[in-house]
Amino acid sequence: MQTKNIDVNYKNKKRYKTAKLPIRQPMFFTWLIWMLSFFALLGKKKRIEKIDMEGLKPPYMILSNHMCFLDFELAALATYPHRINNVVNIDGYLHRAWLMEWIGCIATRKFTSDFHLVKSIRTSLARGDVLCMYPEARYSPCGITSYIPDSVGALVKRNGAPVVAIVHHGNYLHAPFWNFRKKRKVPFYTTVKKILTPEQIKDMSIEEINTVLQRELTYDEYAYQKESGILIKEKFRAEGLHKILYRCPHCNTEFKMGSEGADIFCTECGKRWNMKEDGSLQAYEGATEFSHIPDWFNWEREQVEAEIERGEYSYSDEVDVFSQPRCNGFVKLGKGKIRHNAEEGFVLEGEHNGEAYRIQRAPLQINSLHVEYDYFRIRRADCFDISTENDSFYCYPAKENIVTKLAFATEIIYLKKAEEKRHVCASRCESVCPCDSK
Ligand SMILES: [Zn+2]
């Protein structure tokens, strides 16, 4: 089996170097960002609640949930007048790398092993500033906590700086990732809470730190909506919901779901559900399989997990590929072939400038998948991005509505392989390894 990566034959071989230290955010930009955020949110109903924050001065590390661009603005209001270094994905640098560098952003490529990122974070904290990162590393697809890698706990332990959790509520309901263009009227509520002190971090193991992070960053926007009595009266409120609810719980068919107005439906069996103003679902006829949207979403994940366990999961497709080796635009690589399975991970193959390229991300090299719904930077359609340490490949699949399932499969395969590796490593430390003895 071929495993070697073959780089794309670019005419311009230069790459954007993420391996550079961030500059210290000039105070002028700290003020400017605050002012722009203030005016962007002016007139909108919002509340920022600070918990256990008395007397806390930078340096500290913010870990925040991530729902839409508003998160940056609310974080800027919550932390002013302190300088922030935000960790952002490289596509945010598109055509404006200089600006992102000037405001102190730290560029990375999603879900890669970016060892320099650790150094940049340490530098920011050593300067006495606020370091803000979004450990889920993408907008929440369903308004609930996504996968947070264990490496975040190790990062906290290594730095030893206080940790503040910012949890936004309402941002997802206002602009859900699956239909972010059509905004709904929802108040914003952000909590800013000190969750770990340097003394606590010193006494805790990485596992204990991760337990705290998981607990403090757990959220469920649909539960929050119900508890808070928020009604979303916009008639288009379910449009796009089929992008995350892609599997019919009635006839079990995948990728045949659709949505319009306040309804989601299956084009295979015809079953239809209404999304009520309180965010819950109700079937027009027969049983309501899932009234709570995250339950439907989690059920889909379980189906993917079972498929992988049975050894039946595999994906292959023809994709339109656009890469981002630098920040001055995307390179159109044309058609490519991609496959994803539990043995190889992702393998992308194509041709550019007369030479073949091959990009592979083995299961343990990619713990989550960067998915975009209706991606606005290249072509308005769903896509996913496979990044290496020095390039990113945005793939537009030919298969309909596949990206949510791919994201589930990526995480499940990663966790399964990581668990297998842990088992082997642990066994090797024992006198007899149960794997070796077979
Ligand atoms: Zn159906």
Q: What is the pLDDT of residue 431?
A: 45
With a cut of 60, say whether residue 435 has pLDDT above it: no
Q: Are residues 131 and 264 in the same domain?
A: no
How many Å lie between the centroid of ligand 1 and the Cα of residue 413?
27
The Å distance, Cα 302 to ligand 1 centre, comes to 18
Domain span at residue 379 reads: 315-426
Nearest CA to 293 out of 407, 177, 394, 380 is that of 177
Q: What is the residue-averaged pLDDT of the chain?
A: 92
- 256 Cα–ligand 1 center, Å: 8
User: Exposed, middle or buried, 419 (CB in 10 Å: 0-12/13-18/19+)?
Assistant: exposed
Q: Do 73 and 97 fall within a single domain? A: yes
Residues 323 and 379 in one domain: yes
| Residue 380 forms part of a structural domain | yes
CA of 52 to the centre of ligand 1 (A): 48
Task: Clarify whether residues 399 and 355 are in a common domain.
Answer: yes
Tell me, in angstroms, the distance from the centre of ligand 1 to residue 252's CA.
Answer: 6
Centroid of ligand 1 to alpha carbon of 288 (angstroms): 13
- Domain stops at, among 166, 200, 228: 228
Same domain, 277 and 393: no
Choose the weakest-confidence range: 145-149, 159-163, 314-318, 400-404: 145-149
Q: Separation of 264 CA from ligand 1 center, angstroms?
A: 11
Residue 346, domain member (yes or no):
yes
Rg of the Cα atoms in the chain: 22
Q: For 22-31, what is each residue's pLDDT tens digit?
A: 999 999 999 9
- pTM comes to 0.92
Quote the ligand 1 centre to 269 CA distance (angstroms).
Answer: 4
In whole angstroms, what is the distance from residue 357 CA to residue 415 CA?
28
The answer as to whether 22 is a domain residue is: no
Closest CA to 209 of 154, 145, 132: 154
Do 129 and 217 lie in one domain? The reply is yes
Shared domain for 215 and 257, answered yes or no, is: no
CA atoms within 13 A on the CB side of 336: 28
**Structural domains counted in the chain:** 3
Task: Report how far ligand 1's centroid is from the alpha carbon of 254 (Å).
Answer: 8
Ligand 1: distance of its center to the CA of 178 in Å?
Answer: 20
Please report whether residue 141 resides in a domain. yes
**134 and 47, same structural domain?**
yes
Q: What angle do CA 323, 328, 333 make, to 5 degrees?
A: 25
Residue 35 in any domain: the answer is yes
**Is residue 293 domain-resident?**
yes
Is residue 168 one of the residues assigned to a domain?
yes
**Per-residue pLDDT tens for 63-97?**
999 998 899 999 999 999 999 999 988 777 777 88
Domain termination site, one of 270, 294, 309: 309
Q: pLDDT tens across 257-273, in order?
A: 999 999 999 999 999 99
**Residue 293 shares a structural domain with residue 365:** no
Question: Residue 401 belongs to a domain with what CATH number?
Answer: 2.30.29.30
pLDDT tens profile 381-394? 999 999 998 899 99
* Residues around the ion ligand 1 (C-beta < 5 A): 248, 250-251, 266, 268-269
- Indicate if 278 and 362 belong to the same structural domain: no
**Which of the listed residues 275, 292, 309 is the one where a domain comes to its end?**
309
C-alpha of residue 180 to centroid of ligand 1, in Å:
26
DSSP tag of 177: G
Is residue 3 assigned to a domain? no
Q: Is the same domain home to 334 and 400?
A: yes
Q: Are residues 357 and 381 in the same domain?
A: yes
